[in-house]
Structure 1
Amino acid sequence: METLAYGIIIDFIPAIATGAAALAAYYSYCGLETWRKELKGKKKFDVAEETLVLVYQARRAISYMRSPLGFSGEGSTRDQNQNEANDEKEIWDSAYVPHERFNKNKETFSKLDVMKYRFEVLFGKELTPPFDAINEAVNRVLMDVNRLGRLMIEEKNTVR
């Protein structure tokens, strides 16, 4: 009788080993899935955090571009037209100040533009319109100062 019980136990050892291996594989899979979800969540968090930092930097840069306060020498990096009078040079230099300020912050806007696509991959295209709004704001500032410079010169020439 004892040998019969011993024989049955021996017969079940492969089944027990297989069951233990299956159970270990299941728990390994569950652990791997949890790790994968955590990794994806961490990646989303990192991209969101980096995006927020860039948005704050872009907001500060746009405010700086729009600031009416200027410093002496700002706008002087502009390529001057040879036919410009001195008063026209001052107007065009003043109008060029936001362009210089944009150029100082160009890297921030470039990084934000790249971040838009990383953000889109992780969060979806429906959450990317604010990136376009930032680009539109920058373009509007730069176009408006050019328009203002032209209007000021036209007004100056009309008054003469």
Structure 2
Amino acid sequence: MNICFSVSEINWSLTKDIISILGTIAAVGIGIYGLSTWKKQLRGTSEYELAKKVLVKSHQVAQAIQAVRSPMLFLNKEEVEAGNSLKEEQRIYDERLNHLFSEWSELATLRLETKIIWASGADQAFDDLEKTVKKIRSEIWLHFWLKGAYRSPGATVDDNPDRVAANDEIVYLISDEDDFSQQIYAAVKKVEQYFQNKVRSE
């Protein structure tokens, strides 16, 4: 039995194969382009979300610092009557500081992520805010040292009025316009200046 194909049949078959191959190549190309675009969008979205989290958490850290500085102390009546008012005051400040350190720890984690993505420029944006966290911690310690909380028997404390007044300016929140408040807000502003454009670019 002889099987014969006409030239037109062979050409049509070849044409279909070529069209099929070109279609496959085009589909693969579109898929690769789409995947690349999706990856860029995903990365852009991830960076946007990270920048937004940093901005929010920076303000929360600032609020936590100011909460530490609140002059309002609700002392336990029984502890005060038992002569433990200084220890009760320390307990309150310890709770406030623990909250601050928790907020700062979360921001420090975000800070590490930003350093991986945007290198040292992002990392340095947090330096001043870190200094304010360390400053309030050291000044709270000094506050209680000046009150004799850590004094060993027979030891004296240099609690001259100027030193106490300087410490009070840091420890006690007077207003959002006081010097230390301005340092806190300037530190947050430095974070904002670096990361706000990364939020706006989306």
TM-score relative to the length of structure 2: 0.60
For residue 121 of structure 2, what is the aligned residue in structure 1? 126
For residue 35 of structure 1, what is the aligned residue in structure 2? 38
For residue 108 of structure 2, the aligned residue among 107, 113, 123 is 113
**4+ runs of 1 displaced by more than 6 Å?**
none
Amino acid at match of 1:115: L
Following superposition of structure 1 onto structure 2, how do residues 130-145 of structure 1 map, counting pairs within 5 Å?
Answer: 130-145=125-140
For residue 21 of structure 1, what is the aligned residue in structure 2? 24
Unaligned stretches of 5+ residues in structure 2:
1-5, 149-156, 161-202
Unaligned stretches of 5+ residues in structure 1:
77-85
Q: CA deviation digits over 1:84-136, x for unaligned, max 9?
A: xx6xx656765665433111343222211111111222333211223332222
For residue 66 of structure 2, what is the aligned residue in structure 1? 63
Q: 1:156 to 1:13 in 2, by over 3 A?
A: closer
Amino acid at match of 2:53: E
Matched positions, count: 143
For residue 15 of structure 2, what is the aligned residue in structure 1? 12
Deviation at 1:69, TM superposition (A): 2.9
Q: CA deviation digits over 1:20-41, x for unaligned, max 9?
A: 1111110111111111111111
User: Structure 1 CA distance, aligned partners of 2:93 and 2:123?
Assistant: 26
Query: Helix, strand or coil: the match of 2:63?
Result: helix
- Bigger proportion of residues as helix: 1
User: Structure 2 CA distance, aligned partners of 1:55 and 1:143?
Assistant: 20
TM-score relative to the length of structure 1: 0.73
User: Structure 1 CA distance, aligned partners of 2:129 and 2:74?
Assistant: 26
User: Structure 2 CA distance, aligned partners of 1:119 and 1:144?
Assistant: 29
For residue 79 of structure 1, what is the aligned residue in structure 2? none
Q: 1:155 to 1:141 in 2, by over 3 A?
A: same
Q: 1:35 to 1:114 in 2, by over 3 A?
A: same
User: Structure 1 CA distance, aligned partners of 2:108 and 2:49?
Assistant: 17
For residue 45 of structure 1, what is the aligned residue in structure 2? 48
CA contact under 8 A between 1:99 and 1:142: conserved in structure 2? no
Deviation at 1:155, TM superposition (A): 4.9
Query: Helix, strand or coil: the match of 1:69?
Result: coil
For residue 83 of structure 1, what is the aligned residue in structure 2? none
Identity of aligned residues (%): 20
CA contact under 8 A between 1:51 and 1:115: conserved in structure 2? yes
Deviation at 1:64, TM superposition (A): 0.8
User: Structure 2 CA distance, aligned partners of 1:97 and 1:133?
Assistant: 26
